Amino acid sequence: MAHIRFFAIFVIAAMSGICPCPAQNGYGTFYVEGRYLYDPCGNRVIIRGANAMIVFWDRNGEKNYPELAQTGANCCRIFWKTGHTPEPVIPAADLDETLTNCRANKMIPMPSLWDATGKWENLDTCMDYWLRDDVMAVLKKHQKHLLLNIANEAGNTVMDGYVDKYVSLVKQLRDAGLHCPIVIDADRWGREWQTVVNKGPSILEQDPDKNLIFSWHNWDPYHYRNGTKVRIKEAVDQSIENNICFIFGEFGPSEGCGNPVEKRVEWEYMIEYADKNDIGWLAWVWRWRDCHAVVSMDNDAYGSWANAPWGEGVAVSNPYSIQNTAKRTSYIENGTCKAVGTQTPAERTMPENIALLSTVSKPIEEENIQWHDLSGRRVRTVHTRPFSGVLIRRRGTQKTLEVRMDNRKQIVK
């Protein structure tokens, strides 16, 4: 009966999360595997959150972060700059403070530099900033909790040399000792989804860490038919086929505030299709003065929704809003490892006579169940929608399990 006893221990360890969960990529950072992002514990993370105008208007995030966090967002894309006319150099200490505050509000910080917006030639300016000794020290301090977006929307057209340029930039960051996921925007003001979807795999292959996220800014239905259901579905489906980690880094209710009907973005369809396909997204923008704002610039608080139905819808009321779909792993919450999909000790009472069959006694609400062996190594992620129970059966060997979920079956090896 030794093999049965081993199996029972394996099941309990997998379901309880009590096993050690070592870093999966060797660096203790978030990491990409296939088309998914994982936290350092091996728990899958689907990005849900918003962009926030930080560097000039709320540099330490004291207004934006706590209010955005009330939606349950697990990520905030941070508007940052290398400097500007009255302040040529943004201090590294300010970057450190804002990253610290974002993390304290239980969100993954994703800083991005706006210096290269539409300006391909300014990518090197962004890299000079990231590679500065004081700035790199800050990035390394936070890299176990960080996603780094090299530059916002570099390039005003489809850029020749896109692959070679980003391969070079990624290599410089890796050589400097930065191993967190790097986020790369599409060219043509972030709008050319074909670039990241079709050229992303080549850049990924040349990254020593294979740890990249590719971002499309879903704007401009008037000129390029982006923002339409057809384009949204096409981009998502192709990213899945190419097996890259793909996100909507920006989107809003309309391309332009002057013509909101003709330039409307089909954002309701986008967040639904994204949720059904495990695609991350970040709304533009949490707090501002125009038709894209989620909350009022005057009040700036959670609940002061702006631009109905956009603000309240994307934040909390739509079935696929941030509040209704965002999930924070225990690592995002408090920096500790606990297997996703587990229950509290009081909830996960297992039958005493576990032999070849075990049944979870209470419905599990999470989408991801992480199976770990006794060493803490993640064996396989079973992904499903919320389900009512799990039936686990030993099949021939100690490491093969049969998992049934609402009449569906997956073999976990």
Residue-wise pLDDT for 273-330, tens only, equals 999 999 999 999 999 989 999 999 988 899 999 999 999 999 999 999 999 999 999 9
Bigger pLDDT: 173 or 346? 173
Is pLDDT at 18 greater than 50 in this prediction?
no
- The tens digit of pLDDT for each residue in 219-274 reads 875 565 678 999 999 999 999 999 999 999 999 999 878 776 778 999 999 999 99
For domain 31-333, the CATH superfamily is Glycosidases (3.20.20.80)
Is pLDDT at 15 greater than 50 in this prediction?
no
- The tens digit of pLDDT for each residue in 128-158 reads 999 999 999 999 999 999 999 999 999 999 9
Tokens of 311: 């603000």
Residue 90 CA to residue 102 CA, distance in Å, equals: 18
Is pLDDT at 357 greater than 70 in this prediction?
no
3-state secondary structure string across 267-306: HHHHHHHHHHCCCEEEECCCECCCCCCCECCCCCCCCCEC
Q: Which residue bears the tokens 């200490």? A: 93
Residue 86 CA to residue 89 CA, distance in Å, equals: 9
- Locate CATH 3.20.20.80 in the chain: 31-333
Judged by DSSP in three states, 61 sits in coil
pLDDT band at 366 (very low <50, low <70, confident <90, very high): very low
Choose the weakest-confidence range: 282-291, 345-354, 373-382: 345-354
Closest CA to 295 of 249, 79, 287: 287
- The tens digit of pLDDT for each residue in 199-219 reads 999 999 999 999 999 999 998
Helix H or strand E encompassing 409: strand 408-412
